[in-house]
Amino acid sequence: MDINRNGYISEPQLIDLKNWFSRYVHSFKSSDPVVTQALALKVDHSLRVCDEIRNIGGQIALADGEMRLAEAMALVHDIGRFNQYFFYKTFVDKKSADHAQLGVAALRDGNALAGIDAGTSELILKAVSYHNRLHIPQDEGPTCVFFTKLLRDADKLDIYHLLSTYYYSHDAERSAAVELDLPDSSDVSDEILDTLLAREMVRMEQLRCLNDFKLLQMAWVYDLNFQPTFQLVYRRKYLESIRDTLPPSERIDRIYVELMSYLKEKAGNGR
Ligand SMILES: [Fe+2]
């Protein structure tokens, strides 16, 4: 990856940003255990997305400065979640505000990127801003698109990790924060099945129940970018874990087979 002037983060710059992140997160400290748990979920997720992005980055041989840039993006990509929870007491964007935009505002207001050159700061802000969009804007340059894709892959890897274990957890441990407040009924919407059988992307507005959301998450494989990500999703059996929590259905089986064959093909060599 040829990155020229922009897109490089030094070791001290990354340390500064990590310190800023810790201070920022601590500023939301609360005596309410519900708040503490919700915010801890996001801190842990952010740190695991850092691990995942280094994992993918190592396999595609990023240079050190690029790797630090990728890690910086991973660290702050969900920084908007803190203000979102503080002001709205929800992680549901639809009921509050777009957490990516809240994140960009938090980074700007908090001068989080003060020591980083303007071009690189811009890359970080754009990656944060685009990490949850249905599509990356087509008019962005190759460096921005590359890092945004990397961030989106790393983010999805950790969401898969969270959800594939979470769906098996006891009801009492479940939090509406993760489930987007969707009812956990036993149905699956026909509209979602039709959309997936047509290999089209499901939009959040189409979701009617938790099972719809599980199917949407399985279909995220169509939105992954890097071969190591496909390999990790395959090896970690994330799709199987989610599928096993869905009701028996011939149409779901068909979708699952299609998703798995796409995943295997992208992972390469039938692995
Ligand atoms: Fe995230």
Q: What is the mean pLDDT of each run of 10 residues along the chain (271 residues)?
A: 60 97 96 90 95 97 95 98 94 91 98 95 97 94 97 96 71 52 76 86 83 89 96 96 89 92 86 43
CA 246–ligand 1 middle distance (angstroms): 24
32 DSSP assignment: -
Sign of the alpha-carbon torsion through 174, 211, 79, 44: positive
Q: Cα(50)–Cα(70) distance, rounded to whole angstroms?
A: 8
169 DSSP assignment: S
36-45 long-range contacts, Cβ below 8 Å, gap at least 24?
Answer: 37/175, 38/85, 38/91, 38/175, 38/177, 39/81, 39/82, 39/85, 41/175, 41/177, 41/178, 42/78, 42/81, 42/82, 42/85, 42/91, 45/78, 45/158, 45/159, 45/162
Nearest Cα to 131, choosing from 195, 64, 75, 211?
75
CA 248–ligand 1 middle distance (angstroms): 30
What's the pLDDT score for residue 6? 52
Structure tokens at 146: 């590359």
CA 249–ligand 1 middle distance (angstroms): 30
**C-beta separation of 91 from 175 below 8 A:** no
| Distant-in-sequence, close-in-space partners of 7: CB < 8 Å, separation ≥ 6 | 65, 66, 69, 119, 120, 123, 143, 147
Q: Cα(195)–Cα(212) distance, rounded to whole angstroms?
A: 11
Longest dimension (CA), the chain: 55
CA 155–ligand 1 middle distance (angstroms): 5
- Helix axes 11-26 and 33-59, enclosed angle (nearest 10): 160
What's the pLDDT score for residue 271? 43
CA 156–ligand 1 middle distance (angstroms): 7
CA 45–ligand 1 middle distance (angstroms): 7
129 DSSP assignment: H
- Helix axes 118-130 and 99-109, enclosed angle (nearest 10): 160
What's the pLDDT score for residue 175? 52
CA 136–ligand 1 middle distance (angstroms): 16
What's the pLDDT score for residue 197? 86
CA 43–ligand 1 middle distance (angstroms): 10
31 DSSP assignment: S
What's the pLDDT score for residue 203? 83
Q: Cα(234)–Cα(241) distance, rounded to whole angstroms?
A: 11
CA 6–ligand 1 middle distance (angstroms): 24
CA 250–ligand 1 middle distance (angstroms): 32
CA 171–ligand 1 middle distance (angstroms): 23
What's the pLDDT score for residue 178? 56
Domains and CATH numbers, the chain: 11-158 (1.10.3210.10), 182-267 (no CATH)
What's the pLDDT score for residue 52? 98
CA 3–ligand 1 middle distance (angstroms): 25
CA 46–ligand 1 middle distance (angstroms): 6
pTM for the structure as a whole: 0.90
What's the pLDDT score for residue 169? 61
CA 149–ligand 1 middle distance (angstroms): 13
Q: Cα(79)–Cα(151) distance, rounded to whole angstroms?
A: 14
